Each structure stands twice: as structure tokens, then as C-alpha cells.
Amino acid sequence: MLPILQKGSKNSDPRIREGVCLAVSEIVSNSSEAQREEHEDEIIMIVRRSLVDSSGNVRASAAIAFDILQDVMGAKAIDETIPTLLEALRQPGEGSGTALQALKEVMTVRASTVFPVLIPTLIATPMTAFNARALASLVTVAGNALSKRLTVILTALIRAVEHETDMELKADIEGAVSALLESISDMEGLQTLMLLLAGWVKNEAWTRRVSALNFFRTFCNVSTVDFSLYRPDWVRSLVTLMDDRQMEVVEAAVAAFDSFVKSIEKDDLDSIVVTLRRTIESTGAPGRTVPGFNIKGSVSSMVPVIVAGLTTGNNEQREQAAYAIGDLVERTEEVALKPYVVPFTGPLIRVATQATAFPPGVKVAILKSLGTMLEHIPAHVKPFFPQLSRTFVKSCSDSSSLAVRNAAAKGLGSLTKSNQTRIDALVTELISTAQASDDDAIAASLVLALAYVVRYGITSMGAGAKEACITLIEAAFRERHD
């Protein structure tokens, strides 16, 4: 029977060659070890020839036959088949492409035993374009076998990327990186990847930090696996690296953060806002801006996270989102921040007008951030001056918290420093509201707000407004004396 099958495996009709593979599968499955013993070499030769067949159907059937061979013959099937395919893989020409397809077919049925044998050849240095493309092709069918070899492969790839100067070859290597990262599908592989990258982004060599950030950006762009468990860690790492001493690292961190945010569903953005704010707060130093925040695209990738936290988050997320805006204003150059003033200020004011629904912590955070914007970028907030005035005045009468009223009073002072119009009307409103209040604490807060306004706006006050202030003070001391 074997001579017939050997002849059929060389037939010009691919359907006959495919039938030979199916026949071999049946023979091997239904024969005893004693029956096969003298014919194993012939059987392996037929399968080996069929694995590099020009027909995809023949190769697929041969891969099934190889799987059965490996079950019944063990290591011998691999030892006498895979080396031949690897040798063909190393040779230039059409044969190497066919060998690659054969290995891919074998991998679909026996990745756990075949893939480890292939890795040393695929990641050998110096890496070739063909090996890079072969690796890109084979990792897509490696399944869980990839996870156990991930450290070895990624380490070889990151070194190849860092040292390769041929741009075409480097593009092939990066293609292999992309295919590998897209193929990670289980928790073991994900954990290995996250630990590797987390260590590399802290490496002393700035080139390794850049490479790790680029790998993570690629992962965010191509992967569909859920890595939400690691999001807080990446927020901390990426934002911190925006203040790195090496500008190449800063730029890579900004790009990686943009891809990271885009990989998160819109409804989940508020989940990282608390970590984002606390990291922004601890990044940089007094008196200077953070280099990464000044790069185009950096703040824009933070906007959806902060706005989501401010408008749809829980109370803690709203509070931290509001503080995050103030922290960004203090750490970003004015020109870089200008495009995002409206996206930030609008939601702050909208939430502030609904302040009765929120606890004092949220209100204070909003008012303080608005005050910070008035102190640092008053010219860009100018279109919102009327709304800000109403918001601060209303908050000065907030009965829930002295901290809210104090923040509103201070914010009104910052507004007055930047806006010297309608000072008399504002003074009159504060005085009349304070006099009409039945709550001494609220009245006192309104007078404090008046003090801030007078301090910064006295040169723009009319005689009537000044007289009204004097009268209020005299009345207060007269009542005390009486």
C-alpha cells in the first residue's frame, strides 16, 4: 500500500495528493505499533513531502496527518519533519515561502510542541526580513504556546528594533511586533507582557524606555484583550514619563497615552480619572511646566477622560476631575493649553450650576479650578466672565459649606482682577444680598467676597459704590457696639 501512496503523493492532481494524506491519517490511526514499525520512515517522508506541497488543501491535510503522527510516534515525528522545514525556511526562493506555509499548517494543530522548536531559528541574530515576516505569520496560530515563550521573543524583538539601522528591515521587525502583540489572547500572556513593559519603561537606558512605550502604543492599537486591570498603572507610568529628562521619551509617552485612551470605551473613561489627577498633581515641580503637557496632542488626550469624570462620574471622580483641570493649568504653557479652555470651562460651569446635587467637595474643586484658570489664563477665559460672575456670586450664598463660600469669594476676587467692568453693579448686588440674608454666616461670606472685589477693583469703583461699602462697615460696627 505504501508504494501506491508514495506514488500518489507525487501525482499532478492535487486532489489525489490530498487523498494520500487522508489515507495516511487513517492508516496511522488504525494500525498497531508493530505494523508501523518497519514503515515509519516511509510514512514520515510522505507527510514531509506533502507539508511543502504547493496546494493549500494538501498542506492542511498533511498537517492533520502530522498531528496524528506526533501522537503515535512522539518526538520522532518532530525530529524528522521540522528540521527539514526549517532548512527549507532558510533557503531563498519559493521553497522558503512554501515551508513557512507548511509550518503554519502544522502550528494550527500542534503549536505547543512545534513552536518552541522554531523560535531559536526565527529570532536568531542578526534578524532577517524573512525571519521577521515568518515570525509575524506563525505567532498568529501559536495560541497559548506563545505566552510561554513571550519573554524570549519580545526581548529579541526589542533588541532588534533598537539596533537595526536598515529602515525596511526595521519595518518588518515592527510588523512582527504588531502581529505578536495582537496574538496575545490569554491572561498568562497578558500578565507577562504587562510585567515586561512595566519594567522596560523604567529602564535606565532611554532608548529602552522609548522602545517599550512604542510597543505599548502598538499593543493599544491592535489588541482586543481586556487589560483594564492594568490601566491605573499605565496612567501613572505614562503621565510620569511626560516629565522625563529625555525628550524622545516624552514624545513617545505622549503618543502612547493617546493610543491608550483611544483603546478605552467611552463609558469607561471616568474609571481612570482619579488616578490621572493624582498623577498630574505629583508630576513636575513648582515654577515650571511639564514638557509632555506642552506637546501637541498631550492635553487633548486627557480632555475626554477629565470631561467624562466631571460630567458622568461619581462624586469622587467629579471632584478629582475638577482638580485635574486646575493642576493642568498650573503645569502647562498658556499657548499649549489655549485650545482646551472651552472644553474644560464649559463643563465646569455646567456642573457648577447643578451644584445643589453635589457635596461640598465637588463644589470646592470646581470653584478652585475656575479660580486657577482666572489666575493663569484670564485672557482665554474672558468669554465666560459673565457666567463666572453669576456662578461665584451664587456660590457665595451656598448654605452647605463655609469652604464652598470661601472658594467662591476668592474666585470672585480673581475675576475682578481680570475684569474691571460692572464693578459697581457687583458691589451693589453683594451688599444688598448680605443685608437681606437671615443667616449671619452667609452674610459674612458675602462681605468677604465684597472685600476681595474691593481689593482688586477699587480703582474702577464709583463714588456711590464706595459710599455703600463704608455705610455697610459702619452699620456692622454700630450694631456690634449697640
**Residue with more model confidence, 2 or 411:** 411
Q: Report d(CA 149, CA 111) in Å as an integer.
A: 12
C-alpha cell at 475: 452699620
Instruction: Grade residue 386 by pLDDT with cuts at 50, 70 and 90.
Output: very high
Instruction: Grade residue 480 by pLDDT with cuts at 50, 70 and 90.
Output: low
Contact 339, 381 (CB under 8 A): no
**pLDDT exceeds 80 at position 338:** yes
Mean pLDDT (whole number) for 386-402: 93
**Averaged pLDDT score across all residues of the chain:** 90
C-alpha cell at 319: 471632584
The DSSP line for 285-331 is -TTS--GGGGSTTHHHHHHHHHHHHHHHS-HHHHHHHHHHHHHHHHH
**Residue with more model confidence, 34 or 216:** 216
Mean pLDDT (whole number) for 17-46: 81
Instruction: Grade residue 69 by pLDDT with cuts at 50, 70 and 90.
Output: confident
Question: What are the Cα distances from residue 245, in Å, to 204, 205, 248, 251?
Answer: 11, 12, 9, 11
Nearest CA among 288, 287, 284, 295 for reference residue 257:
295
Task: Count CA within 13 A, CB hemisphere, residue 249.
Answer: 21
**The pLDDT value given to residue 87:** 76
Instruction: Grade residue 93 by pLDDT with cuts at 50, 70 and 90.
Output: low
Q: Which amino acid is at 81?
A: T
Q: Helices (DSSP H) in 201-272: which residue ranges?
A: 206-222, 231-241, 247-262
Instruction: Grade residue 209 by pLDDT with cuts at 50, 70 and 90.
Output: very high
Instruction: Grade residue 479 by pLDDT with cuts at 50, 70 and 90.
Output: low
**pLDDT exceeds 70 at position 138:** yes
Q: Report d(CA 482, CA 477) in Å as an integer.
A: 9
The three-class DSSP label of residue 227 is coil
Q: C-alpha dihedral over 231, 237, 239, 245, to 10 degrees?
A: -170
Contact 262, 305 (CB under 8 A): no
Sign of CA dihedral 278, 336, 268, 363: positive
Count CB-CB contacts under 10 A for residue 117: 15
Contact 266, 308 (CB under 8 A): yes
Q: What is the pLDDT of residues 222-258, one digit of tens each?
A: 999 999 999 999 999 999 999 999 999 999 999 999 9
**The pLDDT value given to residue 113:** 81
**The pLDDT value given to residue 172:** 94
